[in-house]
Amino acid sequence: MSGLIVFAVLYPVYFVVIASISNPTLVATGQVAFIPQDINFFGYQQILEDSRIWRGYRNTLVYATVGTALNLFVTMPAAFALSRREFAPRKLLMFFFAFTMFFSGGLIPTYLLYRDLGLIDNWLVFILPGAVNVYNLIIARAFFENSLPEELFEASVIDGASYFQFFVRIALPLSMAIISVIGLYYLVQHWNDFFTGLIFVRNNEIQPLQIVLRDILISNQAFAGGAGGSGGSGGGSYAQQFADQIKYGVIVVSTLPVIVLYPFLQRFFEKGVLIGAVKG
């Protein structure tokens, strides 16, 4: 039973990988099932030559690194402050934050606000509006509440530390675990962000990887090498097969960083879910 489940979950991923390096004709006729056949890297060659992919990759890398840095810079201090029990307004502030998880202004008012702020077609739209994720804020706060011994705080106060000093010198160094968890959550969120590019950005130069992927995988936009989509330039099913091979390759190239890092990071992610669950 469990073997069957593992197979059903992993096989699609495995198939994409072997299909991306197999002869597309053999893939299309069903002769590739478990072992790659007639290995070639035509698809990858095409991808390497396509400037859109590289541009998307570069943009996403920038958004993910700058964005995550800002995310942590805003989230961690706020979570710390909200975790201090003597901070009287914390309940009210928590409500202020949590309320937005259940109620929002909706798409159009959001769009109009961004327009008024000059964020449409501006790369900052990938960074600023998502600076705080309330769910991550709650996870980090729960960590500070449960894992920082109160005695530590008292001892530092007696030694003359202020909140700033305690936070920077003691709380942060002891919180590397939660910083990595939250940082990873934010990083994956930026990496997979498709919505922002779709709604708020028209300029192709600043589009992230996910939008480029959409164009290639779903809208079937032609590739530089002529192996385009279903309506491709006269190549018929031959071109379609190469288009499919390129698609498999694109899936691998865009997902590779996540898949390669995943086994090492999985425990961190799991920890994040569980810390978050402590307080619901």
Residues 76 to 115: which contact another protein by CB under 8 A? Answer: 77-78, 80-82, 84-88, 93, 96-97, 100, 102-113
* 217 interacts with another protein by CB under 8 A: yes
For another protein, which residue of 59, 68, 175, 210 counts as binding (CB under 8 A)?
Answer: 210
Please list, in sequence order, all residues whose beta carbon lies within 8 angstroms of the beta carbon of residue 152, skipping any fewer than 6 positions away. 170
User: Token match 């190239």: residue?
Assistant: 253
- Contact status, residue 252 vs residue 14, Cβ threshold 8 Å: no
In 3D, which of 61, 88, 74, 79 has the Cα closest to residue 130? Answer: 74
* 9 interacts with another protein by CB under 8 A: yes
Dihedral pair phi/psi, residue 202, rounded to 5°: -105, -30
Tokens of 141: 């706060």
**What's the min distance (Å) between Cβ of 279 and another protein?**
11
* 259 interacts with another protein by CB under 8 A: yes
User: Token match 């909200």: residue?
Assistant: 82
Q: Can you tell me the distance from the alpha carbon of 63 to that of 123, in angstroms, rounded to the nearest whole number? A: 8
For another protein, which residue of 59, 232, 244, 249 counts as binding (CB under 8 A)?
Answer: 244
Q: Tell me, rounded to whole angstroms, the distance of Cα 151 from its chain centroid.
A: 37
x/- mask, another protein, residues 37-66, rule CB under 8 A, reads: ------------------------------
* 69 interacts with another protein by CB under 8 A: no
**What's the min distance (Å) between Cβ of 147 and another protein?**
15
User: Residue 45 corresponds to which amino acid?
Assistant: Q
Q: Tell me, rounded to whole angstroms, the distance of Cα 38 from its chain centroid.
A: 34
Q: Can you tell me the distance from the alpha carbon of 280 to that of 274, in angstroms, rounded to the nearest whole number? A: 10
Q: Can you tell me the distance from the alpha carbon of 240 to that of 213, in angstroms, rounded to the nearest whole number? A: 17
Of 40 and 220, which has the nearer Cβ to another protein?
A: 220
**What's the min distance (Å) between Cβ of 223 and another protein?**
14
* 14 interacts with another protein by CB under 8 A: no
* 202 interacts with another protein by CB under 8 A: no
For another protein, which residue of 10, 39, 48, 69 counts as binding (CB under 8 A)?
Answer: 10
Please give the residues from 177 up to 196 whose contact with another protein meets the rule CB under 8 A: 188, 191-192, 194-195
* 251 interacts with another protein by CB under 8 A: yes
Q: Can you tell me the distance from the alpha carbon of 36 to that of 28, in angstroms, rounded to the nearest whole number? A: 13
Please give the residues from 104 up to 163 whose contact with another protein meets the rule CB under 8 A: 104-113, 116, 128-132, 134, 137, 150-151, 153-154, 157-158, 162-163
Q: Can you tell me the distance from the alpha carbon of 207 to that of 122, in angstroms, rounded to the nearest whole number? A: 10
For another protein, which residue of 23, 175, 207, 241 counts as binding (CB under 8 A)?
Answer: 241
* 170 interacts with another protein by CB under 8 A: no
